[in-house]
Structure 1
């Protein structure tokens, strides 16, 4: 079964109420999950009405939805201490009845750190490795026992490792473009590996690297889910596709090359190609959050034709 998930970029300009409308449409239309980026600064444009915090948003949505999974693609290790993030995600998991998922990455957008006074160390991969160890360690510590960690970047002493999430474990997503270190981290800590905006022809190679990393440490490669995130821009005909491309400021030819884009038949062909390449789920990056008809078209015309 291949899941279709809605993925949003609220730093480009979205209020909580707009995100709630998209999340409710995600649920009503039968998509599997609502995910959002974790950024604080627009990448072009004025970003009005301003950023929303990812885990504050997901906490609200946890109480206003009932079925869909809720998560980040991805939270940056530079934003939150891992002990605090473990508490936040566990609480959202409780608030949602066990629907939270954590995507975690090393971070890359230096300008947003400068804009909001967030430290941005030059080397962050070690932070990511230790945060994954701390967060998964806290969650997996049995009740009544304590958790200790003494790393280069973080030190925890006699932590009660509370609260516990509903899920055991909470799904953890690791993604990235690195050919060696990222697959190794995914194999050690993740329940899902995500290829974010890859060249479509590179997807099998990305997945194969993670499978190989799993085998190297004695983990079954099929224990992980494999996914990719691509921009979404689909029309019922060529004219509608081009109108939607213009609305998000992208060129039609470029979208067809790099995204799930074009007419319904083209979108179906692209997604079925990803299924054939081993994708268990696809994150559809929705950039025009006011265009709920776009999501409805995909749910009604595209999703039923997928190879599952």
Structure 2
């Protein structure tokens, strides 16, 4: 557990259990600098608890290494978001089982997976509640929960509790429903993204290297009625942080691609354009500001065209965001 010193976190308590969940270490650590926020709501640490504590961070780290055995580099450390714990301990360790990585909330084609909280994972997969105390988290309880989750993963295999891809989530399920109604499905994107799609029998996947190539393939593969087309266009998202001019040009290009798809694809076509980083605001596309803390995520919008039922009702070619 950690307290806050200015903008940084500082180790305040370290706990370690063995592979059977038996307690090996539960040690309070003296702050090196005056603590500005004990983060009691989450850490359970108070000023009173640390009064008179003399154990230093270096001593706590050495104690952890001793408990890992005569060859600590051969031992596995298990925890949740272990990068925070290792940073607080000022420790590098070659072998870890991190439940935040073993049980990702979402898988991205690019970058690290999104994380789920230890509390939510424990409730979902172990059917028990942790972190219920008003006094904050208990490191021993958290350690045992992470150990049990890691064991569950090892028993059931790597694919246990893995989510679908971020932009391909639900592709197979949607395909099954639509195929039963006589619709065909196709996906266009980079190879890494297509590999994240759950394969669905009868669907087609077409790799491409650029947004322009993706649109050309989409027009070719979507040129049949009753077709659902999944596409990933990254140009606008990749312009994030490049300045207003670059973002504006990328957004304009994205709009042109969408209009081209809406105009040239046949009636009764549904197109899902994902991974753009664009948002629809009052019917207009916009991008996240340059000063945002994180790059824009995968926000989807659909383009639909429906065959008119009478000669007086022309087909709509206006994108629906």
The verdict on a shared fold, with TM-score over 0.5 as the criterion, is no
TM-score normalised to structure 1 length: 0.25
Higher helix share: 1
